[in-house]
Structure 1
Amino acid sequence: MKNQNTALIIIDMQRGMATPEAGRRNNPGAEENICQLLLAWRAAGRPVVFVRHMSRSPASLFWPGQPGNEFQESLLPLTSEHVVEKNVTDAFVNTGLERWLHVRAIKDLVIVGVSTNNSVEATARSAGNLGFNTSVVADACFSFDRLDLHGKPQTAEEVHINALTNLQGEYATVLDTAALLH
């Protein structure tokens, strides 16, 4: 694992992500891996940040007050853990997250959650650009099927791998749960 002051950033693990309306996804074991990491962070007394998407669209699964907006039962923050609410994909935009990390002298981040190609990628890019030593845990993130710009179907795994490829090296180090925990 990284140093004692490495923050685990858990992005958008809300009930809406586990509904059929969210779409077909990859990495069915992602939640289990996130839970393993969360337990390890808690046991070590390391900082944990939960990020929740607060949609601006009343029709969204993530509209405040909707069941889909709530954190998944297995990933509920403790009262001692920081919660960041965001309205866009990037957890650093208009949330105070950067300041919260700097005040605590946190320089190393481990990012997990959903979706790899949206909020995970956007947050990891900003983290890297802001000078944080950033890791993204590939098997603790997932994506959904989508169409590319030409209307060709892309599987969730293809979308996931493309996003991780975009991050590797320049913005973050991509690794898996086992490598991080050992």
Structure 2
Amino acid sequence: MKLPVVPDNAVLLPIDMQQAFDSAPWPRRWNADIDRNGLALLAAWRAAGRPVIHVRHDSVMPGSTLGPGASGNAFRPGFEPQAGEPLVTKSVNAAFIGTDLDLRLRRLGVDTVVTFGISTDMCVSTSVRVGANLGYRMILVEDACDCFDQPDGDGTEIPARDVHRAHVATLRAEFAEVTTTVAFVEALRRPHAA
């Protein structure tokens, strides 16, 4: 896989790496490696001294497992923001809607946003699309994303892995560069790789 070019003014944007997604009412997920890959990205990014902006979904729906104060709202182990790493909270799918994320990025002089998280087809995809529409170069680390089995409306389910593949293909076609954890970490070691 071709290594992505990661400019010095890029930001890492983990999206909704929260505990709620591990249990009901959320359906089955497919990516058993999401935490391992996401933590590897964070470790490499932090070791390179790069800025991280975390995104957390604070649901406004009554009874949501992602609501503020619900145990599921908490970050997955290891994904908590560290000192100096800002947190953006949202209540809709796109991390840019109803938040100050765009303003934060512009103040930092960012033109490239590297992202991963849960779920590929919902908050990750929506955030990537909006970010691209706002003029950011978006890089999606696809094997550090996860999503759920989805009902197709005809009484059967589309397996989560297929949902993921279709959304990654669409994002690759128009909205983002797509890479893997291994390729991205290698690109950080060789920042001028093409």
Structures share fold, TM-score greater than 0.5: yes
Per the TM alignment, residue 181 of structure 1 is displaced from its structure 2 partner at its CA by 1.3
Distance 1:178 1:73 in 2: 21
Per the TM alignment, residue 73 of structure 1 is displaced from its structure 2 partner at its CA by 1.8
The answer to whether 1:74 aligns with 2:78 is yes
Per the TM alignment, residue 20 of structure 1 is displaced from its structure 2 partner at its CA by 4.3
Equivalent residues in 2 for 1:20-169, closer than 5 Å: 20-169=24-173
Matched-pair contact (CA < 8 Å) for 1:4–1:44: no
Distance 1:18 1:78 in 2: 23
Report Cα offsets for 1:29-55 as digits up to 9, x if no partner: 011101000011111111111111011
Q: Considering Cα pairs closer than 8 Å and 6+ residues apart, tell me whether 1 or 2 has the greater RCO.
A: 2
Per the TM alignment, residue 128 of structure 1 is displaced from its structure 2 partner at its CA by 0.8
Distance 1:63 1:109 in 2: 26
- Aligned positions, number: 182
Identity within the alignment, %: 37
1:10 to 11, 14, 28: 14
The letter of the residue matching 1:35 is: L
The letter of the residue matching 2:116 is: V
TM-score normalised by length of structure 1: 0.96
For structure 1, the 5+ residue unaligned runs are none
DSSP 3-state at the match of 2:59: coil
For structure 2, the 5+ residue unaligned runs are 187-194
The letter of the residue matching 2:17 is: M
Ranges of 4+ aligned residues in structure 1 off by more than 6 Å: none
Distance 2:140 2:22 in 1: 21
